Homo-oligomer: A and B are copies of this chain.
Amino acid sequence: MSLSEFALIKKYFFREYSNEHIRLGSGDDCALVIVPDGLCQALSMDTLVAGVHFPLDTQPADIAYKSLAVNLSDLAAMGASPLWFSLALTMPEVNECWLSEFSAGLFELADAFSLPLVGGDITKGPLSITIQIAGSIDERLALRRDGACEGDCVFVSGVLGEAAAGLSILQNAGDRSGLLQQKWASNLIDRLNRPSPRVALGKALLNVATSCIDVSDGLLADLSHLCDRSQLGAEVDVTLVPLSGDLNAYIKTQNIDDVEKTRLMLGAGDDYELCFTAPEGLIPSVKKLAKETGVSVAVIGQMVPGNSVSCVMNGGESLDIRKMGFKHF
């Protein structure tokens, strides 16, 4: 696609920026960028493959939106401020209608964060999108996975399980034609296609949280990564994990059983909420900061000695998640 690549980039991906940190944008062998003085650069790179990370019939604008959102979510989990991003787009053919919608979805989210696209690559092949994002952060304050302390409370932002329920609805939509007309159902699908990266919350937590991770693979899986790095275990009270009205409507109307409900809330990914830890005494501060960024947070458990995540119900009764089909975390 070597020659027409330049025309495509110019038409769909080139923007003029007045940003002092972008010294040279796309169009040369490299972009030239400057990191704000005294700050560290946070880097993350995520790939979304068609049919693996999003259904094949996902709208191009949603594919672009989600590709950037999941990368922004990694910055959020570090407490970093977005600086710029690069895009590697592999697509089977040049379809200008598709590209136009993809570009619109991409810049809708990029513009919301004043985030310049500084370069990348367009290639021919099976549809996949790789984004590399960079943010700035004071190294001493970065929200790492390894900072949790014994006794810290475990928090989660927003609600969990919605994206997985949205996926389930899409996969079964053929059988249940009325479902897609329901407001709660379209909300759940929106959560799958257009996750909200918690960038403002991550930044607000910089002086408060001791560790943080974003929930991309499922709460128990991601919390177990945080436990690994912090060399601790965690005890989660599953009755404290917030259940959204939309997810509840799905569970009630679709006769979802308790095992599947638990899988959705604890085991399913793609919610891109933040799971983080902070000392118990800071609960009021955390709640206040979260409220200021427009996101709810809930205390769902505690960091404990050990090396795995265990679950209880109503503050006591142990829940054997392995019996529910979960791997051991």
Contacts and interface: CB of A to CB of B under 8 A. Distances in A.
Nearest to A70: B121
A110 interface: no
A126 interface: yes
Contact of A130 (B33, B88, B139, B214): B88
Contacts of A34: 40-41, 139
Nearest to A44: B30
Interface in A8-52: 23-24, 27-35, 40-52
Contacts of A191: none
B45 A88 contact: yes
Interface stretch (A71-79, A96-104, A258-266): A71-79
B49 A123 contact: yes
B123 A29 contact: no
A194 to B, nearest CB: 20
A82 to B, nearest CB: 11
Contacts of A43: 30-33, 86, 118-119
B45 A132 contact: yes
Contacts of A48: 123
A24 B142 CA distance: 10
Contacts of A49: 90, 123-126
A128 interface: yes
Interface in A80-97: 80, 86-88, 90
Interface of A: 2-3, 6, 23-24, 27-35, 40-53, 74-75, 77-78, 80, 86-88, 90, 118-121, 123-126, 128, 130, 132, 135, 137, 139, 142, 144-146, 212-214, 216-217, 221, 225, 229, 269, 327
Complex A-B, nearest 8 residue pairs according to Cβ-Cβ distance, in ascending order: A49-B125, A29-B77, A30-B42, A126-B126, A132-B132, A2-B217, A130-B130, A88-B130
